[in-house]
């Protein structure tokens, strides 16, 4: 393939059941661009590697390749490892569970390209209102992070995120876990980038359950981890 203009990274952790649908959707929405799709098998314990090997052998997925991480170190580590293997001038990431539509990656890409200088912004999704509990959690976390970091952040974990590869160079010590999205945005804001949102629909997971919100303990662990990370960014320069 010629040099990609757009590289998409999807971290997949035990998503064997979702990958065939996800990849089929990428085939459906793939645009006529020199672009690449990188699926990171993030230390999955299920059949993800077999499914990827089978699916990626198909001619219609010529634009896709896999990156394998043997031992899971977390969500952020998976995305970042994938991003470091890319060469596209514009890069982006999203999720593997079909909660965000692959078509949103291309919408975000065109939004970024339409800017006078794509180096100056990050394009991210902004979810339509969800159920009350989910909204409250998102709004609460965004508000707390905004106050502590003194930067306006909204719907931090909405997908996708698309930006110029110059911004990758600013991500010098990314967190291994869930706060990765926050880190990408915060580093961008601190460098004076503008965050532009595109509205996205956030559906239900096609298969399986949320990896961090599976039970009350994992939820608390993630939320506390996020709070700790925000303070680290603020007071240790992150
Ligand atoms: N929690 C978690 N998710 C991961 C990891 N690596 C990749 N992912 C992917 O990150 C996406 C988001 O995870 P999910 O648990 O669905 O979170 P939610 O959508 O915010 O409830 C999914 O596509 C996962 O497959 C990991 O190490 N931990
Ligand atoms: Mg999800």
223: in domain: yes
The backbone torsions φ and ψ at residue 206, rounded to the nearest 5 degrees and listed phi first, read -70, -45
**Quick check: CB of 76 below 6 Å from ligand 1?**
no
Ligand 1: which residue has its CA nearest to atom 5?
75
- Indicate which ligand has the atom closest to the C-alpha of 75: 1
Q: pLDDT grade, residue 214 (50/70/90)? A: confident
Q: Domain of 34?
A: 6-236
**pLDDT recorded at residue 212:** 84
CA distance 204 to 214: 14
**Which of 14, 19, 45, 75 maximizes ligand 1 atoms within 8 Å of its Cβ, making it the mutation to test the pocket?**
75
C-alpha 229/C-alpha 53 separation (Å) is 36
Q: How far is the CA of 117 from the centre of ligand 1 (A)?
A: 31
In the predicted structure, residue 1 carries a pLDDT above the cut 80: no
- Cα gap 199→176, rounded to integer Å: 27
pLDDT higher than threshold 80 for residue 88: yes
Distances from the Cα of 51 to the Cα of 36, 70, 236, angstroms: 19, 16, 42
Specify the range with the lowest mean pLDDT, choosing from 91-105, 130-144, 191-205. Answer: 130-144
What total number of domains does the chain contain? 1
Any idea which of 25-39, 115-129, 132-146 has the lowest mean pLDDT? Answer: 132-146
CATH code of the domain covering residue 225: 3.90.550.10
The verdict on residue 59 lying in a domain is: yes
15 CB less than 6 Å from ligand 1?
A: yes
Q: Does residue 1 belong to any structural domain of this protein?
A: no
Model pLDDT, residue 62: 98
């Amino acid at each position: 393939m010629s040099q990609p203009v757009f590289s998409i990274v999807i971290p997949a952790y035990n998503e064997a059941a979702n990958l065939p649908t996800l990849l089929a959707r990428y085939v459906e929405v793939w645009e006529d661009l020199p672009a690449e799709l990188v699926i990171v098998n993030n230390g999955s314990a299920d059949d993800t590697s077999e499914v990827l090997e089978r699916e990626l052998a198909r001619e219609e997925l010529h634009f896709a390749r896999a990156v394998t991480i043997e031992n899971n170190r977390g969500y952020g580590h998976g995305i970042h490892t994938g991003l470091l293997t890319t060469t596209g001038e514009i890069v982006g990431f999203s999720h593997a569970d079909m909660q965000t539509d692959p078509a949103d990656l291309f919408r975000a890409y065109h939004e970024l390209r339409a800017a006078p200088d794509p180096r100056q912004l990050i394009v991210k999704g902004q979810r339509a209102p969800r159920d009350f509990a989910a909204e409250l959690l998102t709004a609460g976390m965004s508000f707390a992070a905004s106050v502590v970091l003194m930067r306006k952040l909204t719907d931090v974990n909405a997908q996708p995120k698309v930006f110029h590869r110059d911004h990758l160079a600013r991500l010098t010590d990314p967190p291994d876990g869930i706060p990765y999205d926050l880190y990408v945005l915060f580093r961008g804001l601190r460098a004076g980038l503008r965050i532009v949102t595109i509205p996205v629909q956030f559906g239900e997971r096609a298969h399986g359950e949320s990896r961090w919100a599976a039970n009350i303990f994992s939820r608390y662990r993630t939320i506390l981890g996020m709070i700790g990370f925000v303070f680290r960014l603020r007071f240790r320069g992150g």
